[in-house]
Structure 1
Amino acid sequence: MTTFLQFHVLTTYPPSNPNRDDQGRPKQATLGGAPRLRLSSQSIKRALRESPAFQAGLAGNLGVRTKRIGEEIEKKLIADGAGAEAARKVALQVAKVFSKLEAPAKGEAEKPKATTLAFVSPDEWRFADELAAKLLAGEPEPKDMKGTVLRRADGAVDIAMFGRMLADDPDFNREAAVQVGHAITTHQALAEEDWYSAVDDLNKAEDTGAGHLGEHAFGSGVYYLYVCVNCDLLVRNLAGDKDLAAKGLEALAQALATATPRGKQNSHAHHPRACYVRAEKGSAQPRDLTGAFFRAVDLKHKDGAERASIDALDQMCAKINDAYDIAYDDFRVMDVMLGQGTLADIVAFAAGAVADA
């Protein structure tokens, strides 16, 4: 049976704007008829990938999402002594393995830049470099160019976790082993508008007007985030490497409690830590606990919004267990306000989830 690892995370954000919409305002959602602030799953996954837990803890096992692999191959070939024309020709050949290329402007030569982002693993990048070197040396193109470079499973932990889609080569798509929900405030929340001005340092004393006027939106609140890991799929995506899968889950647990989207971070210095993390593992069908907040938490609750959110989450978990049977084999909790559990406990528990995968 499949082993699932689930995380329920509550994090309190100060006034901030970590994830903006197309108008520069905090993203929003409606739940239970009440407006909420939202962090998109895409922004959260990028924050996880860029976190120290991933970048330091998984160095050498992370992919790169880019349109520019062909350009990088071209630069490397030239740096190694290849002629510009030969390097461009080879780079164009290899870049087409990952995506169609951008059409050149009228009168310009074709460039090895892809039309879509490709999530490239370290192994695939190495195979692309090796193929480029062989083509530059005069070897013929392999019959299966894509199979020479692309892989269905390897040691790229972030690709194994969050998946990828290659529109032109679905055979090399990777199904995400980690599902990440959109984080929403547990209570009603609206974006606030800030009007600000800036002073010109060289302004004449008699000119009292501002040098710049602007508007800025921000919001704050307690956010609930749900994440579900298919541990068996994670191991398969990593070519059966359970040790690497465990290392990846350690990084994921660490990052879920500490990483944040970085929009407007210099303006707000938001560096929140999760106030509550509940981690569960087992073979039962996964379920999120968003229903705990369909009725918005009362911001005037006598114990505060954080405690009220934790209590609502625990109560919903208990009700679902009563109605459907217990949805996990084991669990761990870190409750900062009560001094219960530690992040180290959660990290160790998460790593152990691959034992039965």
Structure 2
Amino acid sequence: MTKFIQLHALTVYAPSNLNRDDTGRPKTAKFGGAERLRISSQALKRAIRTSANFRERLAGNLGERTQRLGDAILRHLRGNGVDDAKALEITRIVAGIFGKIEDAKDKPQTNIKQLAFISPEEKVAAFELADRLVKDGIDAFKDNKQAGLAAGLLRRADTAADIAMFGRMLADNPDYNREAAVQVAHAITTHKVVVEDDFYTAVDDLKTSAEDAGAGFIGELGFGSGVFYLYASIDRELLLKNLGGDPALARKAIEAFVEGFAKARPSGKQNSFAAHALANYLRVEKGSQQPRSLAAAFFKPVWGDDLLAKSVEALEGDDRKGGLIAQMNGVYGALFDDARTLRAIPGRPWDPSHDSTLEQIVAFSASE
């Protein structure tokens, strides 16, 4: 029985700065006493959620994470001839169901203070509620109270695949929170890293030879490179529950996520580095057993001239010893029922009898 789908990937990124900290340098983490490059789970999830394949596969079944629902409602009401004061009051009532509304004078009075994850059904219901308040009067809100309006607007399950996967929190209406069916770890390099600095200049094309020879602009940028280990786990039962029991949509969501996990990359400084990488190694495991990360394979940093091959070896082992996958199975018993692996390792021939294609991996992941 497939309850959990686990994904393990190794992706090689050339010099880049995909995910920056508050100083603009690549994010890092200490692991096994060594500094590693890091890509946050938030950056990875957004890269997947906004990727072309994800949006194409799940078109019509995606939510919107925004503070600006009120803007659209206000324009809608004004466009229908509602006067400004009444339109603003109704907008604040409806948008306020998703979170507290801004009251600072220097900020839009229709904005939700926090980002709200809103499903397509809820967005339609929000516009319908605004129209009803115009027709029935705002006193209908005062009689019904916010909890009553929330019950008619918010959903505990719907067709928003990204909300079902990544969850949401509504602080003022916790009954309509959605527990995430997909857990994504921060990606870290399998080896030690040293963040390097790039001193760069920009030339003023219109500067004449009679002027000074200096650059028009100078700057400094941190970067790093390495083999990243990525891990994610999908709770298929929870995903199905969050999607209102729609198995076809759950399969589409799994397919979109798995493809995105292999192909999507954060957008940070891509114009400067063009770090467009695909997973060189992708392993998918299915079963009812408790999920477990394989990050411990890299607690002792891998080293040598071929960090990718050494990273694969730490997971799978070689002719002399087993890797962490076999070792953990030996100690705990089988930690999955079935698995497939994609390998694109330089210097290693691709073997169709042993290695899966991405298309096969995606199909395997989504199958019952």
Q: In which range does the TM-score fall when normalised by the shorter chain?
A: over 0.9
**Matched residue, 1:118:** 116
**Matched residue, 2:276:** 271
Task: Output the CA distance in 1 between the equivalents of 2:309 and 2:16.
Answer: 21
**Matched residue, 1:227:** 232
**Matched residue, 1:200:** 204
Quick one: which amino acid aligns to residue 310 of structure 2? A
Report whether the alignment pairs 1:291 with 2:299.
no
Task: Output the CA distance in 2 between the equivalents of 1:82 and 1:105.
Answer: 23
Quick one: which amino acid aligns to residue 338 of structure 2? D
Task: Output the CA distance in 1 between the equivalents of 2:49 and 2:84.
Answer: 35
**Matched residue, 2:319:** none
Task: Output the CA distance in 1 between the equivalents of 2:162 and 2:90.
Answer: 29
Q: How far did residue 232 of structure 1 move? A: 0.3
Q: State how 1:140-159 maps to structure 2 within 5 Å.
A: 140-141=140-141, 142-143=144-145, 144-159=148-163
Quick one: which amino acid aligns to residue 131 of structure 1? L
Q: How far did residue 2 of structure 1 move? A: 6.9
CA contact (8 A) 1:97 1:146 kept: yes
CA contact (8 A) 1:53 1:252 kept: no
How many residues matched? 348
| Alignment TM-score, normalising by the size of structure 2 | 0.92
Match of 1:280 among 267, 281, 285: 285
**Matched residue, 2:66:** 66
**Matched residue, 2:330:** 322
Q: State how 1:308-319 maps to structure 2 within 5 Å.
A: 308-314=310-316, 315-319=323-327
String of CA shifts for 1:47-103, please: whole Å, max 9, x gaps: 010011211110111111111111211112222333323221211110110111111
CA contact (8 A) 1:7 1:278 kept: yes
User: CA RMSD of the aligned region, Å?
Assistant: 1.4
**Matched residue, 1:216:** 221
Superposed structure 1 runs of 4+ greater than 6 Å apart? none
String of CA shifts for 1:109-156, please: whole Å, max 9, x gaps: x81211111100111111111101111112522450111111111110
Task: Output the CA distance in 1 between the equivalents of 2:198 and 2:358.
Answer: 36
Task: Output the CA distance in 2 between the equivalents of 1:80 and 1:37.
Answer: 52
**Matched residue, 2:359:** 344
**Matched residue, 1:246:** 251
| Alignment TM-score, normalising by the size of structure 1 | 0.95
SS at match of 2:35: strand
Task: Output the CA distance in 2 between the equivalents of 1:118 and 1:208.
Answer: 51
SS at match of 1:98: coil
SS at match of 1:137: helix
Task: Output the CA distance in 1 between the equivalents of 2:58 and 2:12.
Answer: 27
**Matched residue, 1:332:** 340
Match of 1:175 among 172, 179, 183: 179
Task: Output the CA distance in 2 between the equivalents of 1:46 and 1:118.
Answer: 15
String of CA shifts for 1:280-323, please: whole Å, max 9, x gaps: 0000111110000001010x24xx11111111112111100111
Identity %: 50
Quick one: which amino acid aligns to residue 156 of structure 1? A
Task: Output the CA distance in 2 between the equivalents of 1:229 and 1:78.
Answer: 43
Quick one: which amino acid aligns to residue 167 of structure 1? A
Task: Output the CA distance in 1 between the equivalents of 2:120 and 2:29.
Answer: 37
